[in-house]
Amino acid sequence: MQYIPNILFALLVSVGVGFFIKNVKKLKRNIKLGKAVDRTDRSKERWGNMIRIALGQSKMVRRPIAGILHIIVYVGFIVINIEVLEIVLDGLFGTHRLFAFAGSVYGFLIGIFEILATMVLVSVILFWGRRNVIRIKRFWYKEMTAWPKNDGNIILYFEMVLMSLFLIMNATDVHFQEMNSGNPISQFINPLFASFSDGTIHGIERFTWWLHITGIFAFLNYLYYSKHLHILLAFPNTFYANLNPKGKFENNKTVTKEVQTMMDPNADPYAIPEEAEGEPEKFGASDVADLNWVQLLGAYTCTECGRCSSVCPANQTGKELSPRAIMMKTRDRVEEVGKNIDTNKGEFKPDGKQLLNDYISPEELWACTSCNACVDECPINIDPLSIIMDMRQYLVMEESAAPQELNAMMTNIENNGAPWQYNQMDRLNWKDEE
């Protein structure tokens, strides 16, 4: 009978970790649905970006209030969870505060954890107030309905409960309080339980201990379904982000070769190009499999903070486009494709849907000014513009579905060598005007 709690705890750990690993494999599979792209160049710069942006939160503090609060929550939550190691060992071996033998060092660490837990709790409450009382505009754009809206609050409640449980667990641990070391916060909570019997206090301590560790495993597995997956993916996303200057677009090799041939005075205009083996590559992207894996990684990494949309000139002038919605819709489509593969035993069965039109409309794509404001503002270097431009390329080169204004411009360039409808002989007439 004495080993039943240990067995139950081992079962909890096995289920929690096993389910997490299962979701990680599914996540990896879904991201790999994207096309291959090499992002291993300039490794020193990539490591620097990851350390500075993902670990150092350098872009978060551009908005100081949210940035500082986020750093407190980020540091606090990571550091406090170091104690999870002790909890896991205690649960498996039936010990209690296994590391307490370290004496004053242990007391110092737990004291830091308590202070950080309190700071995290206050910060999360302030975040909740910004979202639900002050109602900051970017949290309430039209795409933030139903699940996206609720997800933000659910994660805040999770953090409130976990931090509170940690403090109550310490406050009701009689032996820990008797140490009078490492309890700078919980010592003030302890008197609240003074009228309780020793058995009741012990029961509360055990209950909060179990609920705390169960909550941590629940939180771990909730991440896959939440925007807070960025806790894990911000690091690879910043590492593999595009390092080219903003505004530099990748040329399509097939188109480049065709243009070079046309401009080569020595080229035979009647030569028939050799056909490449297999089906010709699709121009641009109409579905998630046409995007590259870094773009799909970005969709899963999106924090849904709305900073990109709050600086998007198209969005701010009432256009249909929201860069955040582009990333959210891309993730929704990847998830739908992944579920299709799971249902059909590892193979994708065509479902008559695609990212273009069924999720993202041409109106959204053509509203973009390609100014890169969204890319510059994103705190973890996500690139919504690359998805927009790939889907635009598909519309133009595969469906000839560019807006009339663009078609007129491209026709003028083809015929006149300029966007304007002037004969080339008349292009310099402006200099003769008074």
- Per-residue pLDDT reduced to its tens digit, 326-342: 999 999 999 999 999 99
CA-wise closest residue to 9 among 96, 76, 82, 81 = 96
**276 SS3 class:** coil
Give the C-alpha separation, 231 to 321, whole Å.
26
What pTM value is reported for the model?
0.89
Q: In this structure, are residues 392 and 326 in contact, taking their beta carbons and an 8 Å threshold?
A: no
CATH number 1.20.5 given to 253-268+280-423: no
Q: What is the DSSP letter of 134?
A: S
**292 SS3 class:** strand
Q: Would you state the pLDDT for residue 196?
A: 94
Task: Show contacts of 26-31: CB within 8 Å, 24+ apart.
Answer: 26/224, 26/338, 26/342, 27/224, 27/229, 27/300, 29/338, 29/341, 30/296, 30/300, 30/334, 30/335, 30/337, 30/338, 31/293, 31/296, 31/297, 31/300, 31/334
Residue 327 burial by Cβ neighbours in a 10 Å radius (0-12, 13-18, 19+) = buried
CA-wise closest residue to 110 among 170, 172, 190 = 170
Where are the chain's structural domains?
A: 4-31+63-228, 253-268+280-423
What one-character-per-residue DSSP string does 354-377 give? -HHHHTB-HHHHHH-----HHHHH
CA-wise closest residue to 60 among 426, 307, 292 = 307
Q: For the CA atoms of the chain, what is the radius of gyration?
A: 28
Q: In this structure, are residues 287 and 122 in contact, taking their beta carbons and an 8 Å threshold?
A: no
Residue type, 258: E
Q: Would you state the pLDDT for residue 262?
A: 74
Q: How many CB atoms lie within 10 A of CB 237?
A: 25
Per-residue tens of pLDDT for the chain, all 434 residues: 678 889 999 999 999 999 999 999 999 999 999 999 999 999 999 999 999 999 999 999 999 999 999 999 999 888 888 889 999 999 999 999 999 988 899 999 999 999 999 999 999 999 999 999 999 999 999 999 889 989 999 999 999 999 999 999 999 999 999 988 999 999 999 999 999 999 999 999 999 999 999 999 999 999 999 999 999 999 999 999 999 998 888 887 777 777 777 777 776 655 555 555 555 678 899 999 999 999 999 999 999 999 999 999 999 999 999 999 999 999 999 999 999 999 998 999 999 999 999 999 999 999 999 999 999 999 999 999 999 999 999 999 899 888 888 888 888 888 877 888 777 777 777 777 65
Q: Would you state the pLDDT for residue 410?
A: 83
CA distances 311 to 76, 316, 375, Å, are 29, 7, 10
